């Protein structure tokens, strides 16, 4: 695939250096002959630049399957991800169906934005040819609920989701979209094209189609401001709440 060509074709843009919580599995669709477990890499970063940031041990890390949520926080192992502290883990997938991994991080102070950032992040993994549960809503404070399967998509397919905050759709929510440029294979003609920005409609629904030769992981982050503030050095500061979902688009092979 020719990544420089597909990136030159991106039209909608926003400033670079967006932050993303990341949960990247070794395989978004685990088949019977591919083993019985999935490896996860957990980080906080600028994914296109592969520029890591410090991720403290999260407040929560879970997996949800068939309506049952399991605490996995104790299974996270310290690791260096993109040059900064992050985590890895291997999780056994004992039953078929969709397994939803979710992270609630500790709020992160970002001097450049004069605000705290907290990205509620999730990733969906299908096990053994069963996609039951692909539209699961976890009840996170803020989350993107998929209207399209977040796996099993061809590059060029449309992905749709609903932005929720406190369980309610967010009209005209702003959603940042960025490609995980693993291995730094892709380039862009302008830094303005690293992070794309789209907006949801009046019902909180947004639509995005990855370029046809842009297979890989794409992050979607819907950003809202919390009604409360947090203290930083004696001053009340805003808190950015991010609903993040990672979606995998597959390469079409003739």
DSSP conformation class of 193: G
Task: Let me know if residue 254 belongs to a domain.
Answer: no
Q: What is the pLDDT of residue 17?
A: 61
Cβ neighbours for 172, distance < 8 A, ≥ 6 positions apart = 199, 200, 201, 202
Cα dist from 238 to 58, 109, 202, 226, 244, whole Å: 20, 10, 25, 7, 19
The total domain count for the chain is 1
Task: Let me know if residue 67 belongs to a domain.
Answer: yes
Residue 28 in this model has a pLDDT that exceeds 60: yes
Task: Let me know if residue 38 belongs to a domain.
Answer: yes
| pLDDT tens readout for residues 171-228 | 999 999 999 999 888 888 888 889 999 999 999 999 999 988 889 999 999 999 999 9
Task: Let me know if residue 206 belongs to a domain.
Answer: yes
| pLDDT tens readout for residues 95-132 | 999 999 999 999 999 998 999 999 999 999 999 999 99
| pLDDT tens readout for residues 39-62 | 999 999 999 999 999 999 999 999
How far apart are alpha carbons 1 and 215 in whole angstroms? 9
| pLDDT tens readout for residues 148-159 | 999 999 999 999
CA-nearest of 146, 196, 186, 140 to 28 is: 146
Task: Let me know if residue 147 belongs to a domain.
Answer: yes
Task: Let me know if residue 162 belongs to a domain.
Answer: yes
Tokens 């803020």, residue located: 142
What residue numbers bound the domain in which 100 lies? 3-249
How far apart are alpha carbons 230 and 182 in whole angstroms? 34
DSSP conformation class of 217: E
Task: Let me know if residue 170 belongs to a domain.
Answer: yes
Q: Cβ of 218: how many Cβ atoms within 10 Å?
A: 23
Task: Let me know if residue 244 belongs to a domain.
Answer: yes
């Amino acid at each position: 695939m020719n990544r420089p060509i597909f990136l030159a074709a991106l039209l909608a843009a926003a400033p670079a250096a967006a932050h993303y919580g990341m949960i990247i599995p070794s395989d978004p669709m685990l088949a019977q002959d591919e083993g019985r477990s999935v490896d996860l890499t957990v980080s906080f970063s600028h994914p296109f630049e592969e520029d890591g940031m410090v991720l403290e041990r999260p407040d929560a890390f879970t997996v949800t399957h068939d309506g049952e949520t399991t605490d996995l926080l104790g299974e996270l192992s310290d690791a260096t991800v993109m040059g900064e502290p992050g985590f890895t883990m291997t999780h056994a997938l004992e039953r078929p169906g969709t397994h939803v991994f979710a992270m609630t991080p500790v709020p992160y102070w970002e001097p450049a934005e004069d605000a705290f950032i907290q990205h509620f992040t999730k990733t969906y993994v299908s096990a053994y040819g069963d996609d039951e549960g692909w539209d699961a809503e976890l009840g996170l404070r803020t989350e993107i609920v998929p209207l399209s399967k977040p796996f099993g998509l061809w590059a060029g397919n449309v992905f749709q989701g609903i932005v929720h905050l406190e369980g309610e759709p967010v009209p005209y929510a702003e959603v940042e979209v960025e490609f995980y440029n693993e291995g730094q294979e892709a380039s862009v003609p302008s830094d303005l094209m690293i992070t794309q920005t789209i907006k949801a409609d009046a019902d909180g629904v947004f639509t995005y189609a990855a370029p046809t030769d842009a297979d890989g992981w794409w992050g979607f982050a819907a950003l809202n401001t919390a009604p409360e503030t947090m203290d930083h050095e004696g001053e009340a500061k805003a808190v950015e709440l991010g609903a993040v979902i990672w979606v995998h688009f597959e390469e079409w092979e003739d």
